Amino acid sequence: MHQRRKAREVTLQVLYELDVLGIGIQEAIDRFWANFEAPEEARKFSSFLIEGTWNNREEIDGLIGGSSENWTMARMSRVDKSILRMAVYELLYCHDIPPKVTLNEAIDLGKVYGSENSGAFINGILDALYGKLRKKDEDHDIDGLTGSAGS
């Protein structure tokens, strides 16, 4: 799992660069790996997270914005925003990663790379968002059971 932590750190750095510079995904990834080394497993996982997060950021940003009281995406620090985007991508699309792992990793990254309050800020938004996602899944499961019972 140490490789996944490293991959998330890389992902954070590249997502930040994408947000600041507005360059293409592959260019950002290539620029990063031209200057840093990591095991192949970390490189693959980080590329997967970077591409998935960046390509789905419109949906992800909508979910984050809908779960953050009194905070617009524009007001959030780029570090916090990048961590949140990555975590939401994992929650939505990486079903092999337990949600609690995703939440803990995001909070830890916020504490290390963000401001003094980033860990708590990230925790609050992800907790609210994860609660909404779970409720939506439960409602979908109930609808599915109700719909099939009448068949």
Task: Give the CA radius of gyration of the chain.
Answer: 17
What is residue 62's predicted lDDT score, i.e. its pLDDT?
A: 94
Structure tokens at 76: 């959030």
State the Cα–Cα distance between residues 138 and 151, nearest whole angstrom.
21
Q: Are the C-beta atoms of 125 and 80 separated by less than 8 Å?
A: no
pLDDT of residue 110: 97
Domain that residue 23 falls in: 2-149
What's this model's pTM, rounded to 2 decimal places?
Answer: 0.89
DSSP label of 1: -
pLDDT at 68: 87
Residues of the chain with pLDDT under 70: 1, 139-151
DSSP 37: -
Q: What is the end-to-end Cα distance of the chain in Å, rounded?
A: 45
CATH number of the domain encompassing residue 13: 1.10.940.10
Report the amino acid identity of residue 87. A
C-beta contacts of 94-99 below 8 A and 24+ residues apart: 99/130
Q: What is the pLDDT of residue 133?
A: 87
Q: What is the pLDDT of residue 135?
A: 80
CB 23 within 8 A of CB 9: no
Q: What is the pLDDT of residue 69?
A: 80
How many domains, the chain?
A: 1
Interacting residues of 42 by C-beta distance below 8 A, sequence separation 6+: 3, 4, 6, 7, 10
- Helices 25-35 and 2-21 pack at an angle, to 10 degrees, of 120
